[in-house]
């Protein structure tokens, strides 16, 4: 088995262990504790990447691979995108896959399951307005569709790999869970189309000049790695440049990719897992059909509320907090420990957080409602 196959196998295993959880930002002033390992939790790189002309910027934190493995070779970089929509990736960084886990006393301990044991781990709080990222004009700066989200994220990736050009030749895997079932395919498609469009433009330009082509970091990275043909194309913003990084693959865990189809599976899934009797199975199926009808009528707000009501109904009748882990009877991070930790002054200072950024939290609810029907 080759290096790429082994890398993909390990990556698939990591994503399969991903869980869905709730993430609500709470600022806590009563339980602050000085962090003994604050110097250790500092990311390798951290900062802000402007993604819009209005000044809105995405916060990122990068943790370099802790080890070098002959099995992996040059350590790939994993970009982690949280779900939600509107949950911050830094939350997942301290709750499930980063090098540190938060204790109940608002301290830290090493995470034995950290993804950066053998991979470089890149966290980006997106969309703008979530986590530490900045939406300059509030809700009006937040993308309301997949294309706008992808454009912002692409700008952030271009900025990151331009600033840290020594990382640009390493393979990038884009990963995520839950609502990232929409984020991941959208940004991957955007990257591939940007590469194809730039290649087409270069081919046209080469027929109009006899000068030697200029070799750039982007063309070096893309050499021998032509993007696959796309079944459909979207209209990218004018002037979109070729990616300066190398997309190697994508991975999604428990992804929400098609709410219309997936909502209709809830009744059968719960019934065959032994969680619902036939009568309640039929009631859940009826509620799911109502959600689908609202989606078909493009009534996104009503569909969102009906779907949330359906999920609450299933939780109430089964006693479970989530269908993703039938052992759980309470939501993930029920005491909001990670949110309180991320809002501690010493943590914000150590993570290069701008003083004018909001508390680490979800994006505003209108963003969630705007994307729910996509």
At 24, the pLDDT band (50, 70, 90 cuts) reads: very low
Determine which helix (DSSP H) or strand (DSSP E) holds 81, and give its type and residue range.
Answer: strand 77-81
pLDDT at residue 362, rounded to an integer? 53
User: What is d(CA 283, CA 310) in angstroms, rounded to the nearest whole number?
Assistant: 10
- Same domain, yes or no: 297 and 159: no
Of 13-27, 33-47, 190-204, which gets the smallest average pLDDT? 13-27
- Same domain, yes or no: 353 and 207: yes
- Same domain, yes or no: 198 and 266: no
Do the domain assignments include residue 326? no
Determine which helix (DSSP H) or strand (DSSP E) holds 123, and give its type and residue range.
Answer: strand 120-125
Do the domain assignments include residue 358? yes
Q: Tell which of 318, 344, 362 closes a domain.
A: 318
- Same domain, yes or no: 219 and 94: yes
Q: Domain total for the chain? A: 2
- Same domain, yes or no: 227 and 192: yes
Cα–Cα nearest to 94, from 351, 289, 293, 285: 351
127: preceding bond cis by omega (within 30 degrees) = yes
- Report whether 156 contacts 190 (CB < 8 A): no
pLDDT at residue 325, rounded to an integer? 81
- Highest-confidence segment of 22-31, 67-76, 95-104, 315-324: 95-104
Q: How many CB atoms lie within 10 A of CB 71?
A: 10
Arithmetic mean of pLDDT, 281-301:
96
The residue with greater pLDDT, 222 or 193, is 193
pLDDT tens track for 132-155: 999 999 989 999 889 999 999 999
Determine which helix (DSSP H) or strand (DSSP E) holds 59, and give its type and residue range.
Answer: strand 57-63
pLDDT tens track for 293-317: 999 999 988 998 999 999 999 999 9
pLDDT at residue 227, rounded to an integer? 62
Domain that holds residue 284: 260-318
- Same domain, yes or no: 343 and 307: no
The residue with greater pLDDT, 161 or 217, is 161
Of 197-201, 245-249, 278-282, 316-320, which gets the smallest average pLDDT? 197-201
Do the domain assignments include residue 328? no
pTM (global) more than 0.85: no
Q: Tell which of 292, 318, 344 closes a domain.
A: 318
- Same domain, yes or no: 41 and 56: yes
Q: How far is CA 208 from the centre of its chain?
A: 41
Of 167-181, 273-287, 326-340, 355-369, which gets the smallest average pLDDT? 355-369
At 330, the pLDDT band (50, 70, 90 cuts) reads: confident
- Same domain, yes or no: 177 and 294: no
Percentage of the chain beyond pLDDT 70 is: 75
pLDDT at residue 226, rounded to an integer? 61
Helix (H/G/I), strand (E/B), else coil: 328: coil
Exposed/middle/buried for residue 298 (C-beta within 10 Å: 0-12, 13-18, 19+): exposed
At 208, the pLDDT band (50, 70, 90 cuts) reads: low
Cα–Cα nearest to 334, from 82, 18, 23: 23
- Same domain, yes or no: 36 and 110: yes
Q: Is the pLDDT of residue 365 over 50?
A: no
- Same domain, yes or no: 198 and 220: yes
The residue with greater pLDDT, 328 or 370, is 328
The pair of three-digit structure tokens given for residue 327, joined into one six-digit string: 């052992």
> Quick one: CA dihedral 156, 23, 188, 18, positive or negative?
positive
Q: Is the pLDDT of residue 367 over 90?
A: no
- Same domain, yes or no: 210 and 129: yes
- Same domain, yes or no: 233 and 268: no
Furthest-apart CA pair in the chain: how many Å?
75
């Amino acid at each position: 088995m080759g290096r790429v196959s082994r890398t993909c196998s390990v990556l698939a295993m990591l994503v399969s262990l991903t869980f869905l959880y709730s993430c609500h930002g709470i600022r806590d002033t009563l339980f602050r504790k000085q962090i003994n390992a604050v110097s250790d939790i500092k990311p390798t790189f951290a900062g802000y990447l402007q993604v819009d002309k209005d000044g809105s910027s995405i916060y990122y934190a990068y943790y370099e691979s802790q080890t070098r493995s002959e099995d992996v070779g040059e350590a790939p970089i994993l970009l982690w995108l949280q779900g939600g929509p509107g949950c911050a990736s830094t939350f997942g960084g301290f709750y499930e896959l980063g090098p540190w886990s938060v204790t109940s006393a608002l301290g830290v301990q090493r995470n034995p399951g950290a993804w950066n044991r053998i991979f470089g781990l890149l966290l980006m709080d997106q969309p703008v307005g979530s986590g530490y990222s900045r939406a300059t004009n509030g809700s009006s700066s937040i993308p309301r569709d997949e294309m706008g989200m992808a454009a912002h994220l692409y700008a952030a990736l271009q900025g990151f790999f331009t600033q840290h050009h020594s990382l640009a030749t390493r393979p990038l895997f884009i990963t995520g869970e839950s609502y990232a079932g929409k984020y991941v395919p959208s940004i991957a498609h955007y990257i591939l189309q940007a590469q194809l469009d730039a290649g087409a433009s270069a081919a046209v330009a080469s027929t109009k000049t006899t000068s030697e082509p200029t070799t750039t970091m982007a063309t070096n990275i893309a050499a021998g790695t032509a993007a696959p043909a796309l079944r459909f194309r979207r209209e990218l913003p004018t002037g979109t440049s070729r990616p300066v990084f190398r997309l190697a693959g994508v991975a999604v865990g428990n992804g929400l990719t098609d709410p219309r189809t997936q909502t209709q599976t809830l009744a059968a899934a719960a019934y065959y897992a032994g969680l619902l009797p036939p009568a309640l199975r039929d009631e859940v199926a009826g509620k799911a059909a109502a959600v689908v009808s609202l989606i078909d009528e493009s009534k996104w707000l009503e569909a969102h509320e009906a779907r949330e009501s359906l999920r609450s109904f299933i939780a109430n009748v089964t006693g479970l907090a989530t269908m993703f882990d039938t052992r759980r009877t309470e939501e993930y991070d029920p005491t909001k420990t990670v949110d309180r930790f991320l809002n501690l002054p010493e943590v914000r200072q150590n993570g290069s957080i701008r003083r004018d950024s909001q508390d680490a939290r979800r994006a505003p609810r209108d963003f969630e409602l705007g994307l729910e029907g996509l």
